[in-house]
Structure 1
């Protein structure tokens, strides 16, 4: 059996990477059976932030085509302020890869905590929903 203490890495990052793109407060309806915010809720907020970043860069419609490396680092609690930061990692012919980090602040502790990171890939679309070249 693997020693989990050797597999766990401690994230010592203290500042978010990228630009603040989405800021929201999850509510009790967004919780799982343990009382933490659903991972799917966090993932959807990251997808929204990634799409905003991609749309601004490509100048039009995009669609999510892949999620590359979504990691949940710490739980998000009801009442936390969830902040999603985004940046452009790579631009291809028709696709764009956006890096994302989720950070929280809570009422008791104003220090930010990194709770997730991911890389989402979007494709640029024309008005008919077909792939288009990013200029």
Structure 2
């Protein structure tokens, strides 16, 4: 589990953020719920772009945390639309942590599959526009 990786070279992250001391749990690691919230935000950015408007999270398949995250790590969130339905958009999000300077190590922290629904101003489902 301690194998380092590389950031995906052919993709741009939809979100990059550095956790702060206020984001730690009682053991000093970054709170998993904080990471989950950032994953939801990253997935929502990709889904909203594809939906060309507002989306709402309706499901999260699972989270498996493979490495802890620490204050000072730089997290990169990569999101990819993997399925588009009539009103729904499914997005796969991968999270990588960059740790240490000058000898930066990269760890794949977690991944999740989220489903969003495109919604109109009335907050009711609406069709996802064709590409």
Provide TM-score, normalisation by structure 1.
Answer: 0.86
Count of aligned pairs between the two proteins: 127
Whole-Å separation in 2 of the counterparts to 1:89 and 1:13: 23
2:98 paired with 1:115:
no
Q: Partner residue of 2:123?
A: 129
Structure 2 segments unaligned to the other structure (5+ residues): none
Paired residue secondary structure (2:115): strand
Return the offset for 1:111. 2.6
Deviations 1:78-116 (A, max 9, x none): 110111110011111110000001101123442321001
Q: Partner residue of 1:27?
A: 20
**1:21-100 → structure 2 map (5 Å cutoff):** 21-100=14-93
Superposed CA RMSD in Å reads: 1.9
Provide TM-score, normalisation by structure 2.
Answer: 0.89
Return the offset for 1:127. 1.1
Whole-Å separation in 2 of the counterparts to 1:21 and 1:11: 24
Structure 1 consecutive aligned stretches of length 4 or more whose deviation exceeds 4 Å? 9-15
Structure 1 segments unaligned to the other structure (5+ residues): 1-8
